[in-house]
Structures are given as C-alpha cells and as structure tokens.
Amino acid sequence: MFETPIIEAFSRTHPAAPFIFWTPFIAWFLWQAHAAQLAWLGIAGAVVGGLLLWTLTEYLLHRFLFHRIGASLAARRFYFVLHGVHHDFPTDRTRLVMPLGVSIPMGVAIYLLLRVTVGVVAGAAWVDPVFVGFGVGYLAYDGIHYATHHFRMTSPIGRWLKRYHMVHHHTGENARWGVSSPLWDLIFGTLGKKAS
C-alpha cells in the first residue's frame, strides 16, 4: 500500500500485539498500587477513573485528530497514515489496532501527564491505578474495534457495538466517535441521526 517500506511495516500490527505488550505493564502497575498499600476499594475507584479518562481520550482523539483532514498534502498524508487507511480498508486485519509505534509513545506521554496531574493532586501512589484503568480501556478499545470488524458479535451488547461502529464507517455521518463506549457521544450530542 505504501511505497516506503518502513511506513508500510509500521502501518501494520498483529491484533494480539497490544495485548502481548501492554498486559504485563498493566499487571505491574496494578501490583505497584497494591504494594503502595492503597485500599482495594480506592484502587478500584482509581481504575474506574482511568477507564473513564480513556473513553474521553478515545472520543477526543477519534473526533479531533484521527478525522482531521488538513488542506496541505503533508496533512492529508498524515491523516491517511494515522487513520484514513483504516477507513479506506476497514477489513484489513493488520491495520485495525493501534500500532505499537503510536501506542508506546502515547502511553509514556499519558503516564507522565498523570504524574503531573493525578500525582500532584492525589499523590504519586494514585498514578499507577489510574494508568491501569486507562490501559485496560485502551485494550478494550483495540479489542472491541477489532471484533466489530472481524468477529460475529453474538451477545446483545456486542451486536449493538458492531452496528454502532458500522454506522460511523458506512453512512458518511460525522458522528459516533466512541468505539468502546457511546458515553461521550451521548454527552456531546454526536450520536447521529439514529441511535441503534
């Protein structure tokens, strides 16, 4: 697809790669939260907070970065490499999950941002469980996104998520930016014409 072999290589990711790479880190950060002697109920709350933070991040990235098509040739190419290739080839199994070359720097940046926000407000020990929730949310996003394109979704929730995401892909509607959750589409009024 891409003439440059390195861009072609970095644009492809095996769907298991994010899970193989990030799961040990998530487990380690959860262990760190436990080792800091935080109460399990507090850890659970921080994880839920991180999960909600992920859903907002997913919505904002998808709406304002992944679909931002600039006027210049360089901006259009950036969009295509970042997300446009997925919309042009939505059934390509190797271009559905976020490449590690994107998710690793993003994960490091988010962790550092949490250190200077959550760490300052609530204390450094609380950064790890919030990051766990963020990471679990990210993996849920990648898993749900892959599943909506390539699995028969048989549960009522799975079927609904698949229909929800396919409307985003196939109607040309400027809506339904959430993939793993419709929460922020509900809050910001971007569900589109027909919520299924």
pLDDT at 120: 96
- Asked if 112 contacts 121 with a C-beta cutoff of 8 angstroms, the reply is no
| Domain-wise residue ranges, the chain | 5-188
> Per residue in 9-61, pLDDT tens?
667 789 999 999 999 999 999 999 999 999 999 999 999 999 999 999 999 99
pLDDT at 70: 73
Q: Which long-range contacts (CB under 8 A, 24 or more apart) does 36-44 make?
A: 36/125, 36/128, 38/125, 38/126, 38/129, 42/126, 42/129, 43/129
What is the residue type of 182? P
pLDDT at 121: 96
pLDDT at 147: 94
Spans of the chain below 50 pLDDT = 195-196
3-class secondary structure, 169: helix
pLDDT at 170: 80
